[in-house]
């Protein structure tokens, strides 16, 4: 039986205090210099200092008490953690009941990481490997060097999202997840998936072209301020209301680094 959205949580935590760590500084210095850059410790000091670990703890506190315990945990991130030596996906598995046999992260894919993670969760269920899947999308912006996506224009804020999917029919059933090699293909794909969809809503990330959404289709445009978490934050926040108003929710976004686009379709099923 397909996975459907069960519950969600979203946080935008306040900042912490900079605590220098020589091991982490050395890691960041080696990484930045590998790509011809230079470590900017002042930028590190000025960051919000919100680790993935802290976000995970805050998010789990916001999940409904006594809820479903996941057997698969996948963490998606477009930006590196404040402390890169921690295995936060395994920690999330522990925080949510310790039932998950597999806990891992999807990274190095830009904002497409969350869409890949959703595809993995759906595929895992189809093979009989999962009946409850936890998707964590985490974004922290304390970085060792200037990043135009994070620091230019509207600054990206620290935020995190948890989405719990479980087996069963109903609203939020994972129907399809698609990666498009170029953003120009987004319009035709949205036209295709909404043409026959019952009561569709398109949730578009801030990097998408507004003209890509077909005329006459309800839309929710996520405001700037997020990178990887944008459409997922909207789903966690507004999902309970959308459940009453729509049968199909189409999540889409464009990655400003690669100009690729991603589309996930959640239906109501049977």
Residues 199-248 pLDDT 10s: 999 999 999 999 999 999 999 999 999 999 999 999 999 999 999 999 99
**Superfamily designation of domain 173-267:** Thiolase/Chalcone synthase (3.40.47.10)
Query: CA-to-CA distance for 228 and 128, rounded, in angstroms?
Result: 28
106 phi and psi angles, rounded to 5 deg = -115, 120
Give residue 270's pLDDT band: very low, low, confident or very high (50, 70, 90).
low
pLDDT at 250: 99
Mean pLDDT of the chain: 93
Nearest to 270, CA basis, from 171, 190, 193: 171
Give residue 1's pLDDT band: very low, low, confident or very high (50, 70, 90).
low
Instruction: Average the pLDDT over 245-255 and give the result.
Output: 98
Cβ atoms of residues 167 and 133 within 8 Å: no
User: At residue 2, does pLDDT exceed 90?
Assistant: no
pLDDT digits (tens, 9 = 90+) for 124-164: 988 887 889 999 999 999 999 999 999 998 889 999 999 99
Give residue 20's pLDDT band: very low, low, confident or very high (50, 70, 90).
confident
Equal fold, 3-167 vs 173-267: yes
CATH of 3-167 among 3.30.70.20, 3.40.47.10, 3.40.50.2000, 3.40.50.300: 3.40.47.10
Query: CA-to-CA distance for 105 and 218, rounded, in angstroms?
Result: 33
Beta bridge partners of 214: none
The dihedral over CA atoms of 94, 122, 234, 91, expressed in degrees to the nearest 10, equals: 10
pLDDT digits (tens, 9 = 90+) for 32-85: 999 899 999 999 999 999 999 999 999 999 988 777 799 999 999 999 998 888
pLDDT digits (tens, 9 = 90+) for 78-100: 999 988 888 999 999 999 999 99
The domain ranges of the chain are 3-167, 173-267
Query: CA-to-CA distance for 123 and 98, rounded, in angstroms?
Result: 22
Query: CA-to-CA distance for 2 and 110, rounded, in angstroms?
Result: 27
User: At residue 184, does pLDDT exceed 60?
Assistant: yes
- What does the DSSP assignment read for 137-206? EEE----SS--HHHHSSSPPPPEEEEEEEEESSSTTEEEEEEEESSGGGHHHHHHHHHHS-SSEEEEE-T
Instruction: Average the pLDDT over 100-108 and give the result.
Output: 95
Angle between helices 52-62 and 88-95 (to 10 degrees): 20
| Residue 216: exposure state from Cβ atoms within 10 A (0-12, 13-18, ≥19) | exposed
Q: For the whole model, what pTM was predicted?
A: 0.95
């Amino acid at each position: 039986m397909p996975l459907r959205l069960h519950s969600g949580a979203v946080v935008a935590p306040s900042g912490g205090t900079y605590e220098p760590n020589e091991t982490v500084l050395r890691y960041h210095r080696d990484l930045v210099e590998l790509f011809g850059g230079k470590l900017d410790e002042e930028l590190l000091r000025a960051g919000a200092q919100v680790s993935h670990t802290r976000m995970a703890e805050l998010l789990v506190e916001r999940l409904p008490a006594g809820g479903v315990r996941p057997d698969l945990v996948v963490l998606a991130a477009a930006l590196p953690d404040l402390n890169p030596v921690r295995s936060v996906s395994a920690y999330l598995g522990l925080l949510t009941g310790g039932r998950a046999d597999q806990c891992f992260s999807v990274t190095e894919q830009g904002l497409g990481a969350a869409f890949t993670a959703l595809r993995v969760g759906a595929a895992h269920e189809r093979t009989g490997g999962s009946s409850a899947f936890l998707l964590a999308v985490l974004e922290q912006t304390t970085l060792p060097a200037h990043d135009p996506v994070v620091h230019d224009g509207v600054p990206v804020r620290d935020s995190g999202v948890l989405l719990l999917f479980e087996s069963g029919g109903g609203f939020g059933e994972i129907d399809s997840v698609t990666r498009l090699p170029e953003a120009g293909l987004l319009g035709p794909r949205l036209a295709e998936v909404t043409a026959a969809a019952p009561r569709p809503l398109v949730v578009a990330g801030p990097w998408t072209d507004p003209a890509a959404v077909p005329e006459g289709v309800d839309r929710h445009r996520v405001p700037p301020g997020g990178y990887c978490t944008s459409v997922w934050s909207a789903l966690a926040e507004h999902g309970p209301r959308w459940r009453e108003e729509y049968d199909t929710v189409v999540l889409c976004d464009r990655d400003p680094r690669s100009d690729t686009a991603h589309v996930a379709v959640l239906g109501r099923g049977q």
